[in-house]
A and B are shown apart, each in its own frame.
Chain A
């Protein structure tokens, strides 16, 4: 069996893991800074956009089932070699930025909140080891891991949210849309970098195997569940913290504090949170895998074994925060790249079914 092959149920759980992986950490406070208590509307809008794009990508996957072409091949057959290079280079930059931001926010969670003094290099080394092992073992192992962890992650977030949800004055969300449509749209555009996690599907085009001929239903279901959880976290967060929301870096850690009944009980919630934090690790691994695939496709190489130099090259930018503030660097980079990123995230999917059809036809009649 191909070690990267995954079925649609595994893809569905993976979508959940990747979707919720990071958005419960830094994103709620960033959005609260932009639009206050309307952050959940931004999240909802972006999720709707993601859902549409994901459906289009899945459609492309379905078309591609005949010849199982890779994303790179589809691009090469349709938008020429240069187009493929540009798109994949953009994706590579996107993934590296995402890995960096993911690591920084999870480091904040692990090291600043949990531990007082964790070494960044050690943290990055550990993450890189996990990624290397995962790439060696193949994407199937990653997908199976996320499938195994899915119920645990879902339940852990749910348990963390149930008790705080009962203490939330929901009227804090009123009046809905107070920030104004323009602000909400602006925020949605500028924060789109943090969303668009469905892009993983591009790099699994040839590996997805629909289970019982079902592809859309399971993926969309888990997507909806994940999206609802993220929206719920945003709602609870802004309701509980109000004007303080923008000061609180790690939303889920702040919310979970309210799930402990007695303050002398210690922060038992962090143990539950740790279970969910595995999804962040899985997400880093998935993006690492995608970045690795980008390198393979751009260079046109097919390594018989996992290439350690490539993995190290992807991990190298993770040392940037040792020298400069990673948040500044990423923020600047993202500002420059907002439009190109938005194009690959939200325009390319509309062309994907067409591209897949053309490429498959060309493959059939070379």
Chain B
């Protein structure tokens, strides 16, 4: 009897579990349109999204690219994303999304605040996703084929996350950008991506243009609005004053020849004394050779001194000029993307004065030096 009772209870629980699970729809991965990258444009006052969706091949072997793009428009971003679901017939799933691209027109005309909220408030959207803006429309960007790998989103995001810091390009992610637009001076930046076409032929997608991505400029935003676009040299100047970014290359003259010096490491400290912000940058240089790319860690064997002092002096001057150039832009457009306001906040606390303290009112000193690594 006892065992019968047990069996009864077990069956009851199992039945209940199954019954309850009827209203419990697990989505198979095949029922989802798994989006890896999302491009957002403004077309005729409507939001157009272009999603790069994983598209499985037939059978166990992958034939062709593993992603396809789908575009849809809507009055809001949410509506546009939902419309992509209508097109694919699957639920749009953004949990694996690694790239957000804003089109040029959207950036110029639209406040990005609402768009960012859509992602920031989502529980499963990755805050580490790379965010950038692009020349032309995001749709064009996604519809091109990256020359070295198949997927636009994966390659662009991987490049910007891993490579940028070694080629002196500051990058940002969703979290940093969203924070920068809400805190203190409310200014931040996004990488500006351009495409360079190539004549390489793709075996998989011959109809699509083959391109390389160039992202060596940054666009500045304040309160979710576009402010200005930094030139390439200003971006290099910015990278000099930014932590965790290295790999600046300087070409200097030596005995009438051009010599390339690479700075894989730098020491950066920002202090605030007597009302003056002091940036102290020490660039650690070595001769650019085939095998010293990416040696930006501290545990590299030291070489004999090879760089004459006059070259170091030239680098110092060049770096100083780059930094000044960048700083001029900062004061001109009143934005702070090097975190000077954050420094002041940690020193004096948050107050309304600090939040609207214009860059012109902050006295700055640069001391940039160069030494051999």
A complexed with B: yes
Q: CB within 8 Å of B: which residues of A?
A: 108, 112-113, 115-119, 121-122, 125, 129, 169, 171-172, 174-175, 178, 240-244, 247, 249-250, 253-254, 257-258, 260, 262-264, 266-267
State whether the Cβ of B348 lies closer than 8 Å to any Cβ in chain A: yes
The one of A108, A119, A260, A263 in contact with B23, judged by C-beta atoms closer than 8 angstroms, is A119
Interface centre among B95, B123, B178, B350 (most CB of A within 10 A): B123
Residues of A within 8 A of B13 (CB): 129
State whether the Cβ of B30 lies closer than 8 Å to any Cβ in chain A: no
B175 lies within 8 A of A264 (CB):
no
User: Which residues 107-129 of B have a CB within 8 angstroms of A?
Assistant: 120-121, 123-124, 126-129
B123 lies within 8 A of A249 (CB):
yes
**Alpha-carbon distance A125/B96, docked complex (angstroms):** 30
Residues of A within 8 A of B27 (CB): 116-117
The segment from B41-49, B134-142, B154-162 found at the interface with A is: B154-162
Sample of 20 further A-B pairs with CB below 8 A, known A241-B175, A253-B123, A263-B161: A108-B123, A112-B123, A113-B123, A113-B124, A115-B26, A116-B27, A117-B26, A125-B17, A171-B343, A172-B342, A172-B346, A174-B345, A174-B346, A175-B347, A175-B348, A242-B182, A242-B183, A244-B178, A266-B96, A267-B126
Name the prevailing secondary structure of the A interface residues.
helix
Q: CB within 8 Å of A: which residues of B?
A: 13, 16-17, 20-21, 23-27, 91, 93, 95-96, 98, 120-121, 123-124, 126-130, 154, 157-158, 161-162, 175, 178-179, 182-183, 342-343, 345-350
6 A–B contacts from the bound complex (CB under 8 Å): A116-B93, A117-B24, A125-B17, A129-B13, A175-B348, A257-B128
The one of A112, A122, A175, A264 in contact with B21, judged by C-beta atoms closer than 8 angstroms, is A122
Distance of B63 from chain A, by nearest CB (Å): 21
With A117-B27, A171-B342 known as contacts, the answer to whether A122 contacts B179 (CB < 8 A) is no
Residues of B within 8 A of A125 (CB): 16-17, 20
* B91 (CB) vs chain A CBs: closest residue: A116
With A175-B348, A250-B123, A263-B129 known as contacts, the answer to whether A119 contacts B20 (CB < 8 A) is yes
**Alpha-carbon distance A118/B123, docked complex (angstroms):** 14
With A129-B13, A171-B342, A263-B98 known as contacts, the answer to whether A242 contacts B179 (CB < 8 A) is yes
Distance of A221 from chain B, by nearest CB (Å): 34
* B348 (CB) vs chain A CBs: closest residue: A175
The one of A118, A171, A172, A241 in contact with B24, judged by C-beta atoms closer than 8 angstroms, is A118
B349 lies within 8 A of A119 (CB):
no
**Alpha-carbon distance A172/B184, docked complex (angstroms):** 13
B342 lies within 8 A of A264 (CB):
no
B20 lies within 8 A of A244 (CB):
no
Residues of A within 8 A of B127 (CB): 254, 257
* A173 (CB) vs chain B CBs: closest residue: B346
Interface centre among B130, B154, B349 (most CB of A within 10 A): B349
B348 lies within 8 A of A244 (CB):
no
Distance of B233 from chain A, by nearest CB (Å): 28
B24 lies within 8 A of A243 (CB):
no
Residues of B within 8 A of A264 (CB): 98, 154, 157-158
Interchain residue pairs A-B with the least CB separation, the first 4: A174-B346, A119-B24, A113-B123, A171-B346
B20 lies within 8 A of A122 (CB):
yes
Residues of B within 8 A of A108 (CB): 123
With A118-B24, A171-B342, A264-B158 known as contacts, the answer to whether A243 contacts B349 (CB < 8 A) is no
B123 lies within 8 A of A263 (CB):
no
Distance of A110 from chain B, by nearest CB (Å): 11
Interface centre among A129, A171, A264 (most CB of B within 10 A): A264
Residues of A within 8 A of B124 (CB): 112-113, 116
Distance of A309 from chain B, by nearest CB (Å): 15
Residues of A within 8 A of B128 (CB): 257-258, 260, 263
**Alpha-carbon distance A115/B32, docked complex (angstroms):** 13
Distance of A131 from chain B, by nearest CB (Å): 14
With A171-B346, A264-B154 known as contacts, the answer to whether A244 contacts B123 (CB < 8 A) is no
Distance of A205 from chain B, by nearest CB (Å): 33
B158 lies within 8 A of A262 (CB):
yes
The one of A112, A240, A249 in contact with B175, judged by C-beta atoms closer than 8 angstroms, is A240
With A125-B17, A244-B120, A264-B158 known as contacts, the answer to whether A175 contacts B24 (CB < 8 A) is no
**Alpha-carbon distance A329/B201, docked complex (angstroms):** 63
B350 lies within 8 A of A262 (CB):
no
Residues of A within 8 A of B91 (CB): 116
Residues of A within 8 A of B348 (CB): 175
* A112 (CB) vs chain B CBs: closest residue: B123
Distance of A29 from chain B, by nearest CB (Å): 12
Distance of A27 from chain B, by nearest CB (Å): 17
Distance of B105 from chain A, by nearest CB (Å): 27
B157 lies within 8 A of A263 (CB):
yes
Residues of A within 8 A of B179 (CB): 241-244
With A119-B24, A244-B178 known as contacts, the answer to whether A262 contacts B161 (CB < 8 A) is yes
Interface centre among A117, A125, A244, A254 (most CB of B within 10 A): A244
Residues of A within 8 A of B24 (CB): 117-119, 122
Residues of B within 8 A of A175 (CB): 346-349
Residues of B within 8 A of A172 (CB): 342, 346
Residues of A within 8 A of B20 (CB): 119, 121-122, 125
Residues of B within 8 A of A178 (CB): 349-350
**Alpha-carbon distance A60/B86, docked complex (angstroms):** 65
Residues of B within 8 A of A244 (CB): 120, 175, 178-179, 182
Interface centre among A249, A257, A266 (most CB of B within 10 A): A257
Residues of A within 8 A of B154 (CB): 264
Interface centre among A116, A241, A250 (most CB of B within 10 A): A116
**Alpha-carbon distance A118/B310, docked complex (angstroms):** 68
Residues of B within 8 A of A171 (CB): 342-343, 346
**Alpha-carbon distance A175/B354, docked complex (angstroms):** 14
* B179 (CB) vs chain A CBs: closest residue: A242
* A129 (CB) vs chain B CBs: closest residue: B13
